[in-house]
Chain A
Amino acid sequence: MRKIRSRLITISIMILLAVWELIPTNATIRVEDAAGHMKDSVVRQVPISLGLDLQGGIHLALEVDQTKGPVPDPAEAIRRAERVVRTRINEFGTKEPVVQIVGANRLIVELPGESDPARAKGIIQRTAFLEFRITDMKNQFRDALPEMDKALRAAGVHAPAAAGPASAVSQLFGGDTTKAKSKAKAKTPAAPDTAGIGQPGALTALLYQGQLPGEFLVPEEQVAVAESLLGRPEVQRLMPRGLDLKWGTDVESRGARSYRALYAVDEKPIITGEELEKATARRDQMTNQSVVDFVLSRRGGRIFERETARHVNDYMAIILDGRVQGEPPVIKSEIGQRGQIELGNKTLQDANDLALVLRAGALPAPLVIVEERTIGPSLGHDSIADGIRAGVVGVIMVVLIMVVYYRLSGVLAVLALALYALFTLAGLAGFGFTLTLPGLAGLALSVGIATDANVLIFERIREELQHGKLVRTAVDEGFQHAMSAIIDSNVSTALTAFILYLVGTGPVQGFAITLIIGIAASMVTAVFVVRTFYMIWLQRRPDMVTLSV
């Protein structure tokens, strides 16, 4: 009696857990609105994600971005991009995406019902070009500034009078629009009282010398102005040879104003991310900063060691996709294969994303999303409807065979099968696996295995009854003797599935996972649950002489 109760409690807890896993949750999906634009929308759905073949997903078409300069061989670039993008989204955790080259220079990426589409897009598009460059140690850029100002003045550009403290006022009135109108502003400075010859030069007024050689601080609201001034041909012509300007990522606030850093750095990097082999993200315990540790290849390590040895006491800018990360650290002594990138107060997820794209490699050229659509299931709605109908017919046939052949025991097995379905789905939801058609094949197999376990037990009970044993003994021994067959066959199938998971890729893994979950659920329901049913049954009818099996 006590035994039955504890078994029933166990089963109830499992059912509650399974139902809990399957309660619909909020999920972000991308949908097209009436105007054909994509937007994120939140829906409640059962937390089992279906793959591209069953449910469809988002379709992104990417092309090599040639607006910022021509790419020599777009076809080759897209072929390399395919590999990089595939590695990235696999590492991102999207199960069984499609990455496919279309035409000569287009890449299709299809993601199944992704929980965070914006982040996935960010990871796909990120160029992730990492380079280390020494800052302008000789202050060549600073020394060239007066000449540049002179050239600008000759071209009719004067310092915005608001560059001083007054700009704080102008910011109050219309600071927000300054960025958007950057181009226009460069020619017609913000403040109306434009100045004469005695004013400081246009650039000198904008760029404040920072603490490190080659570092300048630009008021945040003037960044666009500075950018367009620096881009002018008369300034470019005066740029010292072998130097490049790169903006920093961080905004520093001093008092009421915030500044963005601009760095003059060597044109030639001492090393690039191509030599990077490993990258891992972590949170630094001491400084509470997000940090990405990296390991270079042997060759890269040698180059890096040699270069850093030459530049001891220089400052080294860590540049990712053209932006200087944090404040350039000083090189204290030569650095070998290992190093780290400090990300300041960025979240650990940002650090993880960075480590991921660094590991997967840099895109050979920037990619732009030229098209984004929701796409229907690749099997087609028609095939899925047919498949579901066939599946239902199949299940009905299994139920009929079991009930006709094993009568009341067959009914128990069918009840257990219903629980099996519940547990398996909960398992898939709990582990967050994406269900695809090969996965469903795995499920179908484990349904077969679940019924097989009951068939083995029932046949065994029948044999024992035939040997003249009492009902209670026959049931006990039936279960006991069928156990070794059930365990050995299921364990070896599960081991096979586990190996498939370890060695295989995408679809093979999906198959393996659903099979393993299904086997585990079938062992619980076919043996433990059915046994409990029998115990209750035998307790209610202790005098039972024949068993409905």
Chain B
Amino acid sequence: MLRLFANANYDFIKWRRVAYGLTAAIIIPGLLLFFVHGLNYSIEFTGGTLLQVQTRQALTTGQVRSALDAAGIHDAEIQTFGADTVFVIRARLGGEERGIEGGGTQQTAQAVAHALDAGIGAGQYQIVRTEAVGPKVGRELQGKAFLAIFFSFIVTLVYLAFRFEWRFGLAAVLATLHDILTTIAFIRYLNLEVSLVVVGAVLTMVGYSLNDTIIIFDRVRENLRKFRRQNLYEILNLSINETLPRSVLTHGTTMATTLALVALAGEVLRPFALVMTFAIFTGTFSSVYIAAPVLLFIEKRWPGEDARGARAFRATTPAPAGAPDPASKATV
């Protein structure tokens, strides 16, 4: 039987200050950059130039895309339009934003024309139409996404206060907030393009990180009840170590999927795959090095019943005892 990290006994919590420093070193410059330069939003958010191209021979969207990529136009959206000799290209130059009246249309059209000359040959195509396009999604989506995350934090706090204790909920929410900040910093460092799909990846990360934190906290809750003599520091370490095989397995499998996406999913999906991979990394990191130490910190500042001495953990909801097979019943 293959076992990884069985009976591990590492002192994770000891490294909390190093972890805080590391994470601050990632977040703070990233956020500064974010506030100075903002993010590189995709054409879905900014609008750009729409070109309708008629080619002599049938081409695939892949061929058109590689022609544009070779000329440095990376974030174009390419769609077949009725027939496979007609394409609609939505493109944008550089990282700068252009509104509808932006006037960059002619430059973009020229750049695309140059790219197509080089890629599929002059005279092999004809640009039927060139127009400025407005954004597909309003900026209100961004605001709404953040608002949604904010409200979901509140609901998480309430749920965890009810199932665990408010201190656990606060620690879990802070860990998730940490993940959002590091992910924004990550996107900023790599200057990844923020498309709708990347927004999806960030939301995925929120769910994943929360999930992971609660798995560890569940073990903390159990161990606080089981070992009444140990202090919280030891309980936290014990719980992280006990769940370590599970963490390695789960994150290993998910990371395998996202790395496959990074390697194989192509240019368009790569920002999404990169953010997902980083999200798994930071979600795992924060469950161990942020959520658990922050819980310890909160218990020190505002001691609850299971602070330090950790006696008599208030069992808000003991596991349904008595029934011979509660596990399966609970899901039917």
Contacts and interface: CB of A to CB of B under 8 A. Distances in A.
B77 to A, nearest CB: 5
Interface stretch (A165-173, A270-278, A332-340, A481-489): A481-489
Contact of B61 (A381, A490, A504): A381
Given A101-B134, A407-B1, A455-B249, A379 B82 contact: no
A373 B82 contact: yes
Contact of A445 (B149, B151, B204): B204
Interface in B40-94: 47, 50, 60-62, 65, 77-83, 88
A22 to B, nearest CB: 23
B319 interface: yes
Contact of B211 (A382, A391, A455, A493): A493
Contact of A484 (B2, B144, B199, B218): B218
B197 A499 contact: no
Nearest to B130: A103
Contacts of B201: 441
A495 B173 CA distance: 14
B200 A441 contact: yes
Contacts of B136: 98-100
A527 B60 contact: no
A438 interface: yes
Interface string A393-416: 111011001101101000000000
B118 interface: no
Nearest to A399: B253
A241 interface: no
Given A387-B265, A483-B327, A495-B152, A59 B81 contact: yes
Contacts of A67: none
B261 A391 contact: yes
A393 B319 contact: no
A439 B258 CA distance: 15
Interface stretch (A123-131, A214-222, A506-514): A506-514
Nearest to B328: A531
B80 A451 contact: no
Interface in B204-240: 204, 206-208, 210-212, 214-215, 217-219, 221-222
Given A394-B256, A528-B332, A508 B79 contact: no
Contacts of B266: 382-383, 386-387
Interface stretch (B13-21, B268-276, B300-308): B268-276
A444 interface: yes
B196 to A, nearest CB: 5
Contact of B250 (A437, A455, A506): A455
Given A390-B263, A476-B325, A500-B152, A375 B88 contact: yes
Contacts of B328: 479, 527-528, 531
B264 interface: yes
A56 to B, nearest CB: 7
Interface in B170-213: 196-197, 199-201, 203-204, 206-208, 210-212
Contact of A390 (B78, B133, B145, B261): B261
Interface residues of B, number: 93
- Describe B's contact surface by its main secondary structure: helix
B81 A492 contact: no
A418 to B, nearest CB: 16
B93 to A, nearest CB: 18
A312 interface: no
A503 interface: yes
Nearest to A376: B80
Contacts of A489: 210-212, 214-215, 218
Interface string A102-126: 1100101000000000000000000
A483 B330 contact: yes
Q: Tell me which of B164, B266, B319 has the highest count of chain A C-beta atoms within 10 A of its own C-beta.
A: B266
A290 to B, nearest CB: 34
Contacts of A377: 79
B155 A495 contact: yes
A466 B6 CA distance: 10
B160 interface: yes
Interface in B294-331: 319, 325-328, 330-331
- Describe A's contact surface by its main secondary structure: helix
Contact of B155 (A100, A393, A466, A499): A499
Contact of B151 (A102, A390, A499): A499
A448 B212 CA distance: 11
B218 A103 contact: no
Contact of B2 (A376, A404, A500): A404
Interface in A444-501: 444-445, 447-449, 451-452, 455-456, 459, 462-463, 466, 476, 479-485, 487-493, 495-500
Nearest to B164: A488
A441 B214 contact: no
Contacts, number: 281
A459 B332 CA distance: 23
B33 interface: no
B257 interface: yes
A389 interface: yes
Nearest to A98: B136
B327 A480 contact: yes
A496 B206 contact: yes
B8 interface: no
A164 interface: no
Q: Tell me which of A374, A511, A549 has the highest count of chain B C-beta atoms within 10 A of its own C-beta.
A: A511
Interface in B129-177: 131-137, 140-141, 144-145, 147-149, 151-152, 155-156, 159-160, 163-164
A376 B61 contact: yes
A85 interface: no
Contact of B203 (A373, A451, A492, A511): A511
Contacts of A379: 268-269
B82 A374 contact: yes
A427 interface: no
Contacts of A397: 253, 256-257, 260
A32 interface: yes
A485 B287 CA distance: 14
B219 to A, nearest CB: 7
Contacts of A490: 211
A36 interface: yes
Contact of B144 (A491, A495, A503): A503
Contact of A459 (B245, B330, B331): B245
B223 to A, nearest CB: 12
Contact of B331 (A36, A102, A402, A528): A528
B207 A401 contact: no
A404 B140 CA distance: 47
Interface of A: 10, 32, 36, 56, 59, 82, 98-103, 106, 108, 373-383, 386-387, 389-391, 393-395, 397-398, 401-402, 404-405, 407, 437-439, 441-442, 444-445, 447-449, 451-452, 455-456, 459, 462-463, 466, 476, 479-485, 487-493, 495-500, 502-508, 511-512, 515, 523-524, 527-528, 531, 549
Interface of B: 1-3, 6, 47, 50, 60-62, 65, 77-83, 88, 100, 131-137, 140-141, 144-145, 147-149, 151-152, 155-156, 159-160, 163-164, 196-197, 199-201, 203-204, 206-208, 210-212, 214-215, 217-219, 221-222, 242-243, 245-246, 249-250, 252-254, 256-258, 260-261, 263-269, 272-273, 276, 319, 325-328, 330-332
The 3 closest A-B pairs by CB, nearest first: A438-B200, A382-B62, A376-B80
19 contacts: A106-B131, A373-B82, A376-B79, A383-B266, A386-B265, A386-B268, A390-B260, A397-B253, A405-B2, A449-B211, A452-B246, A459-B246, A476-B327, A483-B327, A485-B214, A492-B211, A499-B151, A504-B141, A508-B148
Given A378-B79, A507-B141, 12 more contacts: A379-B269, A390-B265, A401-B256, A441-B201, A445-B207, A480-B319, A488-B214, A489-B212, A492-B160, A493-B210, A496-B207, A508-B203
